[in-house]
Structure 1
């Protein structure tokens, strides 16, 4: 099995060495950086499974790096480490998506628990992204009329109403509906609605776009 890679950004070399030893002893691979700039220069943020991030650093600090990653659309699970955090700082970090906010010197068991949570979140995010990409690819294979029918179906409209709105025969709508279910790999109406939600929420794709 491939080792899970933990990315660590802290300007304190002693902290980097101590945490790296701990994480490697737990079976993780560690990539450590002395600054946020070094991390940004060396990593593809979308591939980071867990980022241990110091708050106070010269140049780009931890919260600013979090903001930069969020603006780029990278969904990076972050565990913050700080020697002098406060409540407003903690609230800001968590509201911006941080998994946890730990105070140095950090308890080993607390750190490992937070890392596991971050890695689990990264795995879930990856699966959601894969399903979204698959749904998007299937959606793009639909004809313009099938997209219209799909939009109406997930809106809860019966075949008779859809037919009237599209100026088509009800039997024709049933045929399109069946093709939509097949092409979208949906086993039920509930399944199709969930797929549609995934497309519109995660990819901002309009179901009515031709």
Structure 2
């Protein structure tokens, strides 16, 4: 939860200074609306998060202002970071959202940020704004997971289209991550021996072969197999395989 004093009015947005020196912009209502002394940026509906990463002052275009003009004020939080490192340091704690890499970041740093987000388990979608877009840069950025690469200054229409696609991707990635975490939580309930038997099940081994390899009786293997299926909440082998695939552990068992 973010909190801030509703003192200075910058309608319809107010700024929050982040720990890293960046700041968030959140809906504070329109002029004339009554404000409480403090405002909590939290509701039953998760906000649409936009993270703008820039190593220097915006060059030629105020990206924050363009994003503010495009997003619904009642459900959007915009946070800015002064460096790729500052954003990555806190990425694991962030709500899923759209990351906009401002064109003033050196290309190498932008690619490092893309790589960091691609290799981590983050539900982010990235848009790259650049001062010198070319085919080679666009291809590299797309290979590293960018949703789009736009020339600066970009038109609000172009950025709006990219952000719509990016939020669709965030929703998809968040759904996949949620499914993965739920599947892994089920597998984490298994004992060491049950995971070993699960490995044999995934590999298609018979109870007899598992009993021989584990130096157990076939009856003991049957018991472990029944227990693991009970803990996973399934009754068929196909359901076991779906959980293992969803957990992304098919090659690790």
Q: Same fold (TM over 0.5)?
A: yes
- From the two aligned structures, give the one with the greater strand fraction: 2
* 1:35 aligned residue: 82
Query: Contact 2:50–2:97 at 8 Å: present in 1 too?
Result: yes
Structure with bigger helix share is: 1
CA contact (8 A) 2:53 2:100 kept: yes
Cα distance, 1:33–1:165 mapped onto 2, change above 3 Å: closer
Compared CA separation, residues 157 and 74, structure 1 to 2 (3 A)? same
Q: 1:72 to 1:142 in 2, by over 3 A?
A: closer
**Equivalent residue number for residue 170 of structure 2:** 122
Give the alignment partner of residue 12 of structure 1, picking from 31, 55, 58: 58
In the alignment, which residue of structure 1 is the partner of 2:102?
54
State whether structure 2 residue 214 is matched by structure 1 residue 166: yes
Is contact 1:6–1:28 with CA below 8 Å preserved after alignment?
Answer: no
Following TM superposition, by how much is the alpha carbon of 1:181 offset from its aligned partner in structure 2, in angstroms? Answer: 1.1
Map 1:103-182; keep pairs closer than 5 Å: 103-182=151-230
Q: Secondary structure at the match of 2:128?
A: strand
Alignment pair present for 1:186 and 2:231: no
Q: Summarize the Cα distance change of 1:15–1:201 in structure 2 as closer, same or farther, 3 Å threshold.
A: farther
The residue aligned with 2:7 is: none
Alpha-carbon distance in structure 2 between the residues aligned to 1:38 and 1:135: 31
Three-state SS of the structure 2 residue aligned to 1:44 is helix
Deviation at 1:144, TM superposition (A): 2.5
Segments of structure 1 that go 5 or more residues without pairing to the other structure are none
Q: Which runs of 5+ in 2 are unaligned?
A: 1-44
